[in-house]
A and B are shown apart, each in its own frame.
Chain A
Amino acid sequence: MSGFLQHVVDAVALGSLYALTALGIGLIFGVMRLINFAHGDFIMVGAFSLVVPSSAATSTLLIGAWPAPLLVAGVCAVVIALALATERLAFRPVRRADPAVLLITSFAVSFFLQHAVIAIHGGRPKSANIWPNLMEPIVIAGVRMPQLQLITIVVTLGLLAALALFLKRTDIGVAMRAASEDFQTARLLGIRANYVIATAFAISGLLAAVVSLLYVAQTSVLSFQMGVPLVLFAFVATVVGGMGSLAGAVLGGFVVGVGSVFFQVVLPAAWRSNRDVWVYALVLLILLFRPAGLIKTKASEEKA
């Protein structure tokens, strides 16, 4: 029984990471109809900010050496600044363009960021050990789990709750939600558009920073492509959840996370390296039956 509970915890923890990433993507999609391919690279840059910029093969901790509250604040500041900068420099000039151009622009930004990091840090993966004690297991209700997983879940729930309040209670939040669900409304953002969009990017950056920290604490590896698997699954999660629905993004993230752990457990050992293939196949299957995703919004229906 504890084995099963262990898997459940794994699934929820992984789903949390995907949900947070998917939410970061979903927020930007909501206000701008932009699929931010560079989101994974926000995560990556946040991770690399932990070490001193150098092309040496071994890394020295920079922000990673600071006490925990400063460390968290530092990474968040870096990623939020990056998010706001890309919005201002790369996305604002093309804001009125059609979604295809926006998507390609974000792809270009992603490409640019990855190669900039290669130029600064070199192309090889580096290690970054932060908070190693979090990998120590603790026992709750007979289940052994690394503290990190528990923290991941708790932090995620906290962030989701805070975000939900923000989206319901504040003016900006309400505007963001309305824009997300109906693009006509998004276009009416008008004068406040700059402010609302910048806020969306800032929150997206915050979510990316948190994912970055949790991910590095778990894997201790930095590589310039580290954001890619996360972001691919997060994209897929937003589509499965229902484009335009923020709750859908979160739901999609959990579906992908749970599916991933499910296949990891259920597949015979020889097939396990192909677990991701099965997850993608599951996604395509869901889309076959529900092309609009699991949660339908006005964004996914159009009227003549």
Chain B
Amino acid sequence: MLEAVEIEVRFGGLTAIDRVSLALGQDEILGLIGPNGAGKSTLVNALTGFQKPTRGVVRLDGVAIGRWPADRIARLGIARTFQGVRLFQGLTVIENLAAAAIGGGLKRPGAEARGRDILAWMGLDGRDHQLAGALPYGDQRRVAIGRALALAPRFLLLDEPAAGMSDAECDALVGLIRRVPEEFACGVLLIEHNMRVVMAACRRIHVIDSGRTIAAGTPAEIQADRDVIRAYLGTKSEPGHAGR
């Protein structure tokens, strides 16, 4: 169980995250949505060691990990992707995944084998030896997900994986994400703006705005929630129209 308990993140005078709590189990997919600037990426940074919370506790199976360095947290099994993708551009696709598998403790032959398996699972095989930087953008984002999975993580935090994807690609992505908990024994935290993806993939959704939790529940509950609608569309709102 990965838990955030009353997390607060302040930058100088600005409170980016204001006492947010959530919990993620290894067998579920939790969505994290909210308007732009709500603090979603900051929260992911806080959960993965890229940002130390000013207050509050991050717990992995009961152990507090909030002040640990990012690479140590990754080795514990908490993987993430970045909005800015951040692939190893000068390395090949297979090397990208192998590097993460090595981070997870494997030696090179085993790391490359795991990388190949994941690429095949994602439908990206055949590209092994292409330079990551030469791939089209959409493929780069998928390789990034593959790289995170190469850590053999217990928790996978995806930061806007569907950005720039067509509807067909989104559906494929949803299919992929839904298989992760079962096939990898890995819980997923999905940050997304794309409501099509969120509603289809997640059984539970957590909504934050301006750093605060404003709602949490099933997709149906969230869609009908007044606070959520107001946060996305302003005070003039109509029920039934959530998100962009």
Contacts and interface: CB of A to CB of B under 8 A. Distances in A.
The finding on whether chains A and B are genuine partners in a shared complex, rather than unrelated, reads yes
Nearest to A302: B50
B45 interface: yes
A303 B41 CA distance: 11
8 contacts: A303-B45, A303-B50, A303-B51, A304-B41, A304-B45, A304-B50, A304-B51, A304-B82
A304 B50 CA distance: 7
Question: Which label, helix, strand, loop or mixed, suits the secondary structure of the B interface?
Answer: loop
Contacts of B41: 304
Contacts of B82: 304
Interface in A283-304: 303-304
Interface residues of B, number: 5
Contacts, number: 8
A51 to B, nearest CB: 50
Nearest to B11: A303
Nearest to B83: A304
A298 B45 CA distance: 18
A203 to B, nearest CB: 30
Contacts of A303: 45, 50-51
Nearest to B82: A304
Contacts of B45: 303-304
A304 B41 CA distance: 9
Nearest to B41: A304
Interface in B1-58: 41, 45, 50-51
Q: Would you list the 3 A-B pairs with minimal beta carbon distance, nearest first?
A: A304-B50, A304-B45, A304-B82
Nearest to A304: B50
A61 B51 CA distance: 60
A178 to B, nearest CB: 17
A304 B51 CA distance: 9
A10 B82 CA distance: 52
Interface string B127-171: 000000000000000000000000000000000000000000000
A112 B82 CA distance: 44
Nearest to B48: A304
Contacts of A304: 41, 45, 50-51, 82
Contacts of B50: 303-304
B208 to A, nearest CB: 18
B150 to A, nearest CB: 19
A124 B80 CA distance: 60
Nearest to B49: A304
B74 to A, nearest CB: 12
B32 to A, nearest CB: 16
B80 to A, nearest CB: 9
A97 to B, nearest CB: 15
A300 B211 CA distance: 26
A158 to B, nearest CB: 34
A297 to B, nearest CB: 14
A174 to B, nearest CB: 20
Interface in A256-304: 303-304
Contacts of B51: 303-304
